[in-house]
Structure 1
Amino acid sequence: MPTEARRWAMLAASLLSAMATTCVVSGVAFLIPELHRSEGMSLTEASTLAAAPIFGLLLSTYVWGIALDRFGERRILLLSLTLTIAAMTTACLANMWDAPTSVLGLALLVGGVTSAATNGAGGRIVVGWFPPEKRGTAMGVRQTAQPLGIGVSALTIPVLSREFGVGAGLAVPLIVTVIATVVVLVVVADPPRPSSSASGAHAASNPYRGSQFLPRVHGVSILLAVPQSMLWTFVPAWLIVEHNWSPLTAGVLVTVSQILGAAGRIGAGRWSDVWGSRTKPIRLIAIGATASVGLLAFTDWCNSPTAAVVMVTASVITVADNGLAFTAIAEFSGPGWSGRTLAVQNTGQYLWMATSTPLFGMAIGAFGYPAAFLIAAAAPAAAIGLVPPDEERKALAVAPAP
């Protein structure tokens, strides 16, 4: 059995692989200012291109989840990452050779398809290798992949694309994916699966039957993803285009907000371990997200210089719930179903991101950023009453890791 250090090394590998997916799927949003400035695209056109990898992820997430349940984490992670390297290399070459925008969009779409395995695989690694009393903290660390990936993208892609062109920005997710592939190859091993006598009945049982716990968690997560995706996608353009910040300064501020958001996820995970609840902290986070994004709308409408500070606060609060939902879903589902239930979780969230990105682009163009922020704040307000009580949770389906 692995040592504690090896477990944390595998956690780091799963974090890096999910971070690569974040850079592929969300990093293109940081090209929006340059696509708007130098390529002459409207905000709606650029944001539609940025949504291409999200749509690709949606097409394949559930299929990758079935593969994870059947074949395990290591081989699926390596296959996913290797194919993503090929897709992003194609995207870089398409830009270098001045291929039509449709070709670039197709390459980005394929990148989303190939990268979709990492989120579910990382969640399964955490639940499989860490005991219940440490899972919230470990999953909080694992879920820092999203804010860290956003932070790396914010700090590099706008600056590189302005100085060296869109192709240089596209190279960032490619490089992160190559690094993640090497680390996964070196350290990741599949968690042990419970014996059929211990878990066969549960493994064969559909966790969606007889309980509303999973559908409610999925619904809450989708609603809480609304302000997350809106801030990730449009804050760089808000700062650079709307408020005339330099790409470097805007990138630094977004990176700081994402690093703080990563720390917030770890804190929320530790909070859930100590409290013995995954859902009670989610309800409080929904309340905080409603208040902070609503305040951002107000301060931006007032042209207040505090709006940037409020944006950082909102960015930290709105991402804090992800690890808690992932942990609750994986624990509830067990190893026989967690690949699929986590895939449903990711599909719901990314479906919203894919469909909402062009819609928010149109809303900003028509009504301005304050109205768009206010719309985003309404979603976590709706989530508050949907959070399921702890009483609906089954006993943990996965035994403590050996």
Structure 2
Amino acid sequence: MLALGTSAQTVACVFVYGLPYLSPELREANGLSLAEVGLIVACPTVGLVLTLVAWGALADKYGERIVIASGLAATTVLLALASAPHGLVTLGALFALAGAASASVYAASGRLVIGWFSARERGLAMGIRQTSTPLGMGIAALAVPSLAEWTGLTGTIVFAAALCGTVAVLVGVCAADPPRPADPAADGSGADNPYRRPELWRIHASSALLCVPQFTASAFGLVFLVEVRGWSPVHAGQLLALAQVLGALSRVVAGRWSDRVGSRVRPMRRLSLGIAAVMAATALGAVWPSPLSDVAMIIACGITASTNGLAFTATAELAGRAWSGRAMGVQNTGQNLTASLTPPLLGGFIGAVGYGWGFALAAAVAGAAALIVPTGRRPAAVRPAATGGRPAAARQGE
């Protein structure tokens, strides 16, 4: 189930977060400014943000399998339509609708992890599941520049559609929803509203802020390497694919770290400070370009992805089972809203003042996120498995 959920989100990310690797093609073929390219790149995440809560409600009612499979099937159809020649407005609208359909994966695949894994394993499991984003970006970094060079936009979009369609069939045939308790009272339904306390709000806010450096590096890393450092789009994509592998590993290591120390927030705070330092080094590399600039960009693309799994795990554990679905919907919405706004806003900012100041701003945002992460120790609950082999939910304070 973990493999299926991770695969589903990986192929969705190839489309949703792989569009930045089409930036050179969009600029050359259509004469777009960097801000306009950022707007097209943001279309899928705009659609995704608007539908996350609705998909989450459907997962609550009908289960994870049908939601993931139907959402990926709809994404496949919409991408197939987008592969035909269109104007930029129509293309952006189809990308937004496909992003809205792919939101099913973001709403439901995390619930598979929460449902099938106990709290003492959940940090590692969620870290593995969260590797889907850098893995999807890595696949895109390897495939998209070459496909764009040989087949243009059409071949690249068809590639993404084929991936989504294949995994939709696999999920529909092979996936199984996690067991649900027969007694709602045993599921924590009477728990207090976790939003009456500040910890959950702080997790949402800090993780949303940490999306700024992550999507600054991912959206503009390839363009930076091509325009400032003189790399070809294909070779720059290959370099950033290596960075995405590092990003995937960083999420797994961070999840395992949180399981061992019994806290999600302590590793999250320390990694936020590390992200701020690395983005500051990337800013310096943009001002004084050298081979070290390339190294800094690789590290930035890797480490900026490290906190996502921690934030989602902390959200579920702080909210408790009665509120985890709604809380993870809010968490997803905040992160993806920031992800959708970062490319166009940072694109305009970088276009006005340069890459150095843009990367420096991302470093400052990461530093602010480190200050917002809750300081109280929230242990990863180590609770025996529930009767019948079902893992017990982690409740706040356990």
TM-score higher than 0.5 here?
Answer: yes
Q: 1:355 to 1:323 in 2, by over 3 A?
A: same
Separation in 2 of the partners of 1:57 and 1:397?
A: 34
Selected match of 2:359 from 360, 369, 373 = 373
Query: 2:177 aligns to what?
Result: 190
Separation in 2 of the partners of 1:394 and 1:304?
A: 43
Separation in 1 of the partners of 2:262 and 2:182?
A: 27
Contact conserved, 1:128 with 1:398, CA < 8 A, in 2?
A: no
Cα deviations by residue, 1:317-346 (Å, 9 ceiling, x for unpaired): 111111111111122334443222111111
Separation in 2 of the partners of 1:160 and 1:14?
A: 26
Amino acid at match of 2:243: S
> 1:351: how far off?
0.8
Worse-matched range after superposition: 206-215 or 225-234: 206-215
Q: 1:85 to 1:305 in 2, by over 3 A?
A: same
Worse-matched range after superposition: 212-221 or 162-171: 162-171
1:13 aligns with 2:25: no
Worse-matched range after superposition: 125-134 or 329-338: 329-338
Query: 2:19 aligns to what?
Result: 28
Q: 1:204 to 1:20 in 2, by over 3 A?
A: farther
Amino acid at match of 1:227: P
Q: 1:399 to 1:217 in 2, by over 3 A?
A: farther
Selected match of 1:290 from 253, 262, 276 = 276
Give the 3-state SS of the residue equivalent to 1:193 in structure 2: coil
> 1:359: how far off?
1.1
1:322 aligns with 2:322: no
Query: 2:327 aligns to what?
Result: 341
Separation in 2 of the partners of 1:236 and 1:167?
A: 20
Cα deviations by residue, 1:38-67 (Å, 9 ceiling, x for unpaired): 221121111111111111011101111122
Amino acid at match of 1:42: S
Give the 3-state SS of the residue equivalent to 2:179 in structure 1: coil
Contact conserved, 1:19 with 1:148, CA < 8 A, in 2?
A: yes
Give the 3-state SS of the residue equivalent to 2:17 in structure 1: helix
Separation in 2 of the partners of 1:206 and 1:77?
A: 30
Query: 1:3 aligns to what?
Result: none
Give the 3-state SS of the residue equivalent to 1:353 in structure 2: helix
1:180 aligns with 2:199: no
Give the 3-state SS of the residue equivalent to 1:273 in structure 2: helix
Worse-matched range after superposition: 170-179 or 128-137: 170-179
1:226 aligns with 2:217: no
Query: 1:7 aligns to what?
Result: none
Query: 2:40 aligns to what?
Result: 49
What are the residue-to-residue correspondences of 1:348-367 with 2, within 5 Å? 348-367=334-353
Contact conserved, 2:13 with 2:133, CA < 8 A, in 1?
A: yes
Query: 2:203 aligns to what?
Result: 217
Give the 3-state SS of the residue equivalent to 1:115 in structure 2: helix
What are the residue-to-residue correspondences of 1:387-402 with 2, within 5 Å? 387-391=373-377, 401-402=390-391
> 1:165: how far off?
1.0
Query: 1:170 aligns to what?
Result: 157
Worse-matched range after superposition: 288-297 or 246-255: 246-255
Separation in 2 of the partners of 1:314 and 1:398?
A: 38
Separation in 2 of the partners of 1:233 and 1:72?
A: 33
Contact conserved, 1:332 with 1:395, CA < 8 A, in 2?
A: no
Unpaired segments ≥5 residues, structure 2: 392-398
> 1:214: how far off?
1.3
Give the 3-state SS of the residue equivalent to 1:226 in structure 2: helix
Separation in 2 of the partners of 1:178 and 1:120?
A: 18
Selected match of 1:255 from 216, 237, 241 = 241
What RMSD over aligned residues (CA atoms) do the two structures have, in Å?
A: 1.9
Separation in 1 of the partners of 2:324 and 2:9?
A: 17
Q: 1:195 to 1:213 in 2, by over 3 A?
A: farther
1:37 aligns with 2:37: no
Identity of counterpart residues, as a percentage? Answer: 38
Separation in 2 of the partners of 1:76 and 1:206?
A: 28
Separation in 1 of the partners of 2:140 and 2:101?
A: 19
Contact conserved, 1:127 with 1:331, CA < 8 A, in 2?
A: no
